[in-house]
Amino acid sequence: MLNHLLERIQPTHVLVAFDAGKTTFRTEMYKDYKAGRAKTPDEFREQLPYIREMLTALGISWYELENYEADDIIGTLDKLAENEDEYDVTIVSGDKDLIQLADNNTTVEISKKGVAEFEEFTPAYLMEKMGITPKQFIDLKALMGDKSDNIPGVTKVGEKTGLKLLLEYGSLEGVYENIDGMKKSKMKENLINDKEQAFLSKTLATINITAPIAIGLDDIDYTGPDLEKLVPFYDEMGFKQFKDNLGAAKKQEKFDVTYTEVDSLSADMFTDDQFFYFEILGDNYHVESIIGFAWGNDKAIYASTNLELLKDDLFKAALAKPIKTYDFKRSKVLLSHLGIDLPAPAFDSRLAKYLLSTVDDNELSTIARLYTEYVLDSDEAVYGKGVKRAVPDKAVLLSHLARKIVVLNHSEKVMLDKLTEHQQASLLFDMEQPLANVLAKMEIAGISVKKKRSKKWKKPIKQSLTT
C-alpha cells in the first residue's frame, strides 16, 4: 500500500505519525478515554521497531510525541503546511476522526476495503455525504460519542439525531443556546443532563493543531529510498519480491502516444479487438456526464469530446456487440443516459485487476504499473483533486484518454495469462462480468418507493431494529 501511495500521490514531504503510548492529555482529562480497548497484540508490538527501520530506509520520516496522539501530530503539521500556499496535503488513515481536518488544501483519505480502496473526504464531499462541515463533524462526535474511543457523548443520541440537531442549530453550542425552546422530550432531558459530558466529548474529539512538535516541514522532506539501507533490510526480512521490484522501478515519465481526434466517423474506425473507455470527472456515474471518450487497438487510437458521435449509427453498432472496456458497470450506466444499452462485456480490465490483487487499488494507473511497461499518470495528477479538480485543456484530456487505451491493450494479455494461471478466468467470464451486467441493470432501473407508504414503514422498522 505504501509504495502505491507514494507513486500515486508523488509527495514532496512525507511523515508517518505514531501514538507514543496510552497516556495522553486526554486521559488526564478523562481517565476512561479509550478504556476497554483490547491490548495491542504482542506480535504487532514486536514488529514496530522493524517498521520504523523500514520507514527510515524508505526515506520516510516518522515521529511520535509523548502525551499526544498521532492525530495531533498530523493536525499540527497539516496546519503548518497550509500556511505555505504551495502545499496540498493528503492525509491517509483508517481513522475517521481525521475528517475534521479536511479543507480546501487538505484531503483526508479513509481506507474502505483493507488497504486497497479509499474514500476521499473534502469539505464538499462531506457536505454531500452527511450534510455537515468538517467542524460540525467534531460536534457530531460530541453529541453521539464514539464507542471505539470511549467518548461518552449524550445518552441515546446517535448519528441520525446528532445530524438533525446540527442541521437545525449549527453546532453543539447552538444546540445548548436553543435548548430552552425545544419541546419537552426524553432527548431534551438527556441533553440537559449530559451537557457537561457533551462538551467534554467535544474537547476529547477535537484534534490538537498546536501540539508542541519538535519537527517542521523541512524535517520531513522526501527524496526517495536509501538503497544502501533498504536492500540489506529486505534481505534480512526475506522480502524478495520487494527487493526485486527495486530493480524494476520505472522512471515516472509520460510515454508518447499517437491518436486521432475524431469529429466524424467512418466504418474503418471500428474493429472487433478494440477497447472502449468513457471518462467522467467525478466518482458518481449516476449523475456525472461523460467528458470524453477513446477507443482503439495497437494499430490506431481515436478520441473525442463530441458526445453526439456516440449516438451515430456506426458507434451504436459497435456498442451493440460485447466490448472490451474498463469498469463495464460504470460504462453501461453512463451510456444508458444516452439511450444506449451495452450487452455484457467481452472483457473488463477493472474486474480482472480486482480478481488478481486486492492489495492495490483498481485504478488504471495501477494496472499500468503492475501489468505493463508503461507509467500512466493518475487521474488526480491530470485532473487535480478536491476543489481544484477540473477538466483540463482538450489536448491534455484526449492524450490522457489515449494513453489509457494503450494501457488497456497492453495489459489485457498479461492479466488474462495470470487469471488462467490462478484458475480465475472462469470466475471473471462466468461470474463477475455477467454479474456486473445484472448490477448495472439494477442500478439503471432503480427502486420505486411511494413516500407515504415508506413513512408508514418507518415506525415498525425502527422497532424491529431496536429489538
- For 358-402, how does the pLDDT look when each residue is reduced to its tens digit (9 = 90+)? 767 889 998 998 889 898 999 999 999 888 899 999 999 999 999
Which has the closest alpha carbon to 406: 378, 374, 381? Answer: 374
Q: Which domain holds residue 60?
A: 1-134+208-219
Residue 170 lies in a domain: no
Give the phi and the psi of residue 24 in degrees, each rounded to 5: -140, 180
pTM of the predicted structure, to 2 decimals: 0.62
Question: Within this chain, do residues 124 and 269 fall inside the same structural domain, yes or no?
Answer: no
Residue 367 lies in a domain: yes
In tens, the pLDDT along 215-227 reads 999 999 999 999 9
Question: Within this chain, do residues 265 and 126 fall inside the same structural domain, yes or no?
Answer: no
CA dist 140 and 170 (Å) reads 10
Residue 362 lies in a domain: yes
Report the CATH number at residue 105: 3.40.50.1010
Number of domains in the chain: 2
Question: Within this chain, do residues 214 and 301 fall inside the same structural domain, yes or no?
Answer: no
Residue 164 lies in a domain: no
With cut-offs at 50, 70 and 90, classify the pLDDT of residue 247.
low
Question: Within this chain, do residues 215 and 264 fall inside the same structural domain, yes or no?
Answer: no
Confidence (pLDDT) at 291: 97
Report the CATH number at residue 406: 3.30.420.10
With cut-offs at 50, 70 and 90, classify the pLDDT of residue 117.
confident
Residue 104 lies in a domain: yes
Are the CB atoms for 239 and 260 separated by under 8 Å?
Answer: no
Confidence (pLDDT) at 361: 83
CA dist 345 and 328 (Å) reads 7
CA dist 151 and 97 (Å) reads 12
Residue 41 lies in a domain: yes
In tens, the pLDDT along 405-422 reads 999 999 999 999 999 998
With cut-offs at 50, 70 and 90, classify the pLDDT of residue 250.
very low
Q: pLDDT > 70: what percent of the chain?
A: 96
Confidence (pLDDT) at 21: 87
Cell, residue 320: 451493440
Q: What is the mean pLDDT of residues 8-25?
A: 93
Question: Within this chain, do residues 214 and 318 fall inside the same structural domain, yes or no?
Answer: no
Q: What is the mean pLDDT of residues 79-83?
A: 89
Residue 427 pLDDT > 50, yes or no? yes
Question: Within this chain, do residues 212 and 314 fall inside the same structural domain, yes or no?
Answer: no
